[in-house]
Structure 1
C-alpha cells in the first residue's frame, strides 16, 4: 500500500495496476462484514444453540450430532441467504450505476421476472413431462430466462447513435411492462400446474431460503464470484462512467464495452441468485441506495452494496424465524421495507427532474 504526492489516498499496487483505497468505503465494508458475520452465526444457531457454539462447531470442535444439525441443515440456509443477498445487492448496484438511475434495478427491469419464468417453467413443465426442462435444472433455466428477458429489454430500449445505446427512461418503462407480461405468464403456468408443483413454485416465487440445500449453494457462489471479479476488474471504468458517458469519453474510457459487459454480468449474477432462493424483492433496490448514502458517493459502490444486501437478507431471515410468524418467507419482509422506499425514491427522483 502506498501514497502519491498528488493523491493522499492509500493505494494497492499489483504489478503495474493500482487501486485507490477509499477509507470510508473500507470502514463501511468492514462494519457490514462484521454485521453479516454475526447475523450469519445467529441464523445458524436459531432453535439449536448459541452463536458462540456455532463458531466452535464451524471451526471443527463439534460433536457428531452437532455437525449433522449445523452442516446438513442450518448452514446451507444461512449460506444461501448471505450469498443471494450479496448477489442481488451487487447486481442492483451495477444496473443503477450504468444507467445512473436509482430505479433501474433487476426487479424493475424484468431481469428477475425473466429468471422467474425460467425457473417456474423448469419446476412445473418439467414435472409435467417435459424432460428437457428437468434436465436443465432450475439454475440453468433461470439463467436462460434472465438472459432472454435482458435481450428483449435491450432490443426494445435501443437508441441509435448513443454510447449507452439505450434510453434510460425507455429502459425502465420497457422493464416495467416486460415484468408485468412475464408475471402474467408465471400465473398462467401456475394455474395449469399440478397442485404440489404449483405450491413449490409459489414458495419459490415469493423469495424464500427456508428450503435451501447444498444443491443450490454453487449457483449463488458462482454469482458472487463473477460479480465480485468483474467489479474489481472494471472498477476504475465504472467509477468514471458514474460521472456520465460524455465525461468518461473525455477521460479516455470506452463506455460501450464496459456498459455492455456490466449489463451482461448484472443479468448473470441476478439470474443465478434468483435461481437459488427466488426473486427476493427490493434487495437490488435497497442495498445500493443504502450503500450510496453511507459512502456519500455519487454512485452505488458494488462490493459495499453486495455486503449490505447480504446483511439485509440475513437479518430478514433471522426476523422471520424469531419475531414473525413461523414459515414467513424473507421476500415478504424485504418487500414490506422496499415498497415504501421505492415510493420515496420515485418522489425524490421526480422532484429532482422538475427542479
Structure 2
C-alpha cells in the first residue's frame, strides 16, 4: 500500500471539527462555542441558579405536603410520579397541587418581570408594582370581582379576572410610556427618574380608584376583593393555574430569544445602540412582555407586594452581576413566594395571605435600597 493511498483528514474538515465545540476563557467565566451559537458560562451564576432551583423544588414539594393529610417531600414526589393511592391522589392533585403551582409560577413571573423593568429603566425601583402596572391590573380585577352583576361592571365580569387584569395593566403601561416618552428627544431614551415618578403617581391614583370601587361594592364582594388585594395563593384551583402557565412560558421564550439583546441593554442604551441593538423596539417588546406576565400573575394571586423588587436585587447580589438576570430572578422569586406561603401555613397564625410576609420583608429592604442609592449618588 502506497503512502498516497492513506487518506488523512483535510484541513477544512479538521477546522470544522475544531469550531464545532470550543471552550475559551472569558472575563465573566468561560466562553462555550457550539457552532453556530456561543454563550458564556459563569460558574458562580450557574451554582447560584442550581441552588435556587433546588431550593424552589424543595419548597414546592414541602408546600404540597402541608395539608390536613400531611406528606413528606419524598411522598409528594412519589405521588407526582404516579405512585400514590386514591386518597393521596385526591389530596395532592385536587387540593394541594394548584396552590403550590400558582405560588411557583407567580414567583417566577413576578421575579423576571421585575428584572426586565429594572433593566429597561436602569433603576432598581422600577418594578411593576411601583410603576403602577399591578395597580392598574388590580383596579380592573376588582371591577371584575366586585361589580360583575352591575350594568357597567358586567363587561369586566364577562371578560373574567385574568383578561380584565391584563387590560388594566396594558392601559396603565401604555399611559405611563406615553407620559414618560421624551418626544423629539427620543434619542436620549426615557429618563429613569421621570419614569419612576410617573409610575408612583399613577400607582397612587389607581389605588385611590380601587378604594373608591370598594366603597361602592357589596360587602360580601368587598371581603373577597380585600383578600385578593393583599396577595394570596389560597383558595385557588386549576382554572387559576393555566393562565399563569401560558404567561410564564411566553415570558421565558421571549427572554431566551432576546437574551443577546438583553445582555447588550445591560451595558446602557447608548452602547447598545452602538452595537446595533434597536433599543426602542427591544425595550418596548420586553416591557410589553413584563406587563402581560405580571398582569396574569396578579390575576391569579393578587398583587403580592415587593416580590418584583426583592427577587432581582437578591439575585444580583448572590450572582454578583452588574444587572439582575431575568431567569435567576424568577427562581429567587419562586422561592420567596413559596417560602412565604409555607411560613404562613406552618408558623404564623392560620389564614394569613403570603402578601403580608413579602411586604414585611420588602418594606425594610426598600428603605435599605433607597439609602444605598442615595449614598452611591453622593459619591
Q: What RMSD, in angstroms, separates the aligned Cα atoms of the two structures? A: 1.5
- More displaced, 140-149 or 254-263? 254-263
**Count of aligned residue pairs for this structure pair:** 354
Q: How far off its partner does 1:240 sit?
A: 1.1
Residues 262-302 of structure 1: CA distance to partner in whole angstroms, max 9, x if unpaired? 11111111111111100000000000000001111111000
In the TM superposition, 1:111-260 aligns within 5 A as 111-129=133-151, 130-160=153-183, 161-163=185-187, 165-260=189-284
**Matched residues in 2 for 1:133 and 1:255: separation?**
35
Residues 78-127 of structure 1: CA distance to partner in whole angstroms, max 9, x if unpaired? 00000000000000000001111100011110000011011111111113
- Report the structure number with the largest CA radius of gyration: 2
2:350 to 326, 335, 338: 326
- More displaced, 214-223 or 178-187? 214-223
Q: 1:11 to 1:46 in 2, by over 3 A?
A: same
**Matched residues in 1 for 2:117 and 2:187: separation?**
16
Whether the 8 Å contact between 1:208 and 1:330 is mirrored in structure 2 is yes
Aligned residue in 1 for 2:364: 340
Residues 36-88 of structure 1: CA distance to partner in whole angstroms, max 9, x if unpaired? 00000110111322211111111111111111111000000000000000000
Extract unaligned runs of 5+ from structure 2: 1-19
**Matched residues in 2 for 1:306 and 1:146: separation?**
20
Q: How far off its partner does 1:135 sit?
A: 1.4
**Matched residues in 2 for 1:194 and 1:295: separation?**
48
Residues 116-168 of structure 1: CA distance to partner in whole angstroms, max 9, x if unpaired? 01111111111335432221000000000000000111111111223464211
**Matched residues in 2 for 1:351 and 1:71: separation?**
50
Aligned residue in 2 for 1:281: 305
Q: 1:203 to 1:142 in 2, by over 3 A?
A: same
**Matched residues in 2 for 1:19 and 1:127: separation?**
54
**Matched residues in 2 for 1:233 and 1:295: separation?**
22
Extract unaligned runs of 5+ from structure 1: none
Q: How far off its partner does 1:21 sit?
A: 2.4
- More displaced, 128-137 or 238-247? 128-137
Tell which has more relative contact order, 1 or 2 (C-alpha 8 A, sep 6+).
1
Aligned residue in 2 for 1:45: 65
**Matched residues in 2 for 1:259 and 1:32: separation?**
27
Whether the 8 Å contact between 1:231 and 1:302 is mirrored in structure 2 is yes
**Matched residues in 2 for 1:127 and 1:56: separation?**
44
Aligned residue in 1 for 2:22: 3
What is the SS of the residue equivalent to 2:160?
helix
Q: 1:51 to 1:250 in 2, by over 3 A?
A: same
What is the SS of the residue equivalent to 1:98?
helix
Q: How far off its partner does 1:255 sit?
A: 1.2
Q: TM-score with structure 2 length normalisation?
A: 0.90
What is the SS of the residue equivalent to 1:3?
strand
Whether the 8 Å contact between 1:128 and 1:193 is mirrored in structure 2 is no
Whether the 8 Å contact between 1:114 and 1:149 is mirrored in structure 2 is yes
Aligned residue in 2 for 1:306: 330
Q: How far off its partner does 1:3 sit?
A: 2.9
1:77 to 80, 96, 99: 99
What is the SS of the residue equivalent to 2:39?
strand
Q: TM-score with structure 1 length normalisation?
A: 0.96
Aligned residue in 1 for 2:37: 17
**Matched residues in 1 for 2:256 and 2:51: separation?**
20
In the TM superposition, 1:286-297 aligns within 5 A as 286-297=310-321
Q: 1:313 to 1:5 in 2, by over 3 A?
A: closer
